Structure 1
Amino acid sequence: MALNAQGMFVSEARRDMREDVHFRTRAIMADGRSVELLVVNVSARGLMARCDDARIGPEQKIVVRLPGAGGVIGEVRWALGGRIGVEFDEMIELARYLQMLAEVLKT
């Protein structure tokens, strides 16, 4: 267990393994503004990204542009120290997820 920014205990266990990645993309906020993200890990259910925009915070809905998967709707679950965690509203289907990984991991 770990403490979140609000001092509440949260489980560090995840449902899915995350893939380490490193790619830039954009997210669209509910108010229409665009935010740059540097995605550092991803799974079919969510991602963690670096984000310098201090206006992005927990419980905000965003649409993240993912290569090979298109726009994926999710909710910011946490924001801390220039990083955010996003949980997707729906799991990315396997074919789209594998396509995304192939595009972002190619060398």
Structure 2
Amino acid sequence: MSLPSTEYEPRRAVRETIACPARIWGLTLPPSDVVVVNLSANGCMLQSDMPASIGESLTLELPDLGSLRGVVIWSTGARIGLEFEALIPQDAYLGFLERHHDGSEG
């Protein structure tokens, strides 16, 4: 059974390279400045000075998109992989990319 064309397949979402300042916080992580390095409709990779634990729930505050809740699915050094609890709506996602894409191929 295939998904309608307006739906995303979470494990196959294309990651777009960006460099967007943002903020994260969680139960054990105080509000911290991060840079979103790449973004898909269902997650992102962050560059952060603060460590995060796998399985930790975080809130990511992105300009134009607001607060996105997610779970850390991997963390290594200064990089964090975050999977969102809900997909970013397609129109909001595409608009965000138009405003924040760094010009690299994703």
- Using the size of structure 1 for normalisation, the TM-score is 0.78
Counting only pairs closer than 5 Å after superposition, residues 10-89 of structure 1 correspond to structure 2 as 14-31=11-28, 33-54=30-51, 56-89=52-85
Deviation of 1:85 (Å): 0.2
- Using the size of structure 2 for normalisation, the TM-score is 0.79
Asked whether 1:99 is paired with 2:95, we answer yes
Higher relative contact order (CA 8 A, sep 6+): 2
Coordinate RMSD, CA, aligned: 1.8
Q: Could you tell me which amino acid in structure 2 is paired with residue 68 of structure 1?
A: D
Q: Could you tell me which amino acid in structure 2 is paired with residue 45 of structure 1?
A: N
CA distance in 2, matches of 1:41, 1:69: 15
Q: Deviations over 1:67-95 (max 9, x none)?
A: 22110000011100210000000000111
Three-state SS of the structure 2 residue aligned to 1:85 is: strand
Q: Deviations over 1:12-49 (max 9, x none)?
A: xx421100001111012124720211111000000001
Q: Percent identity?
A: 31
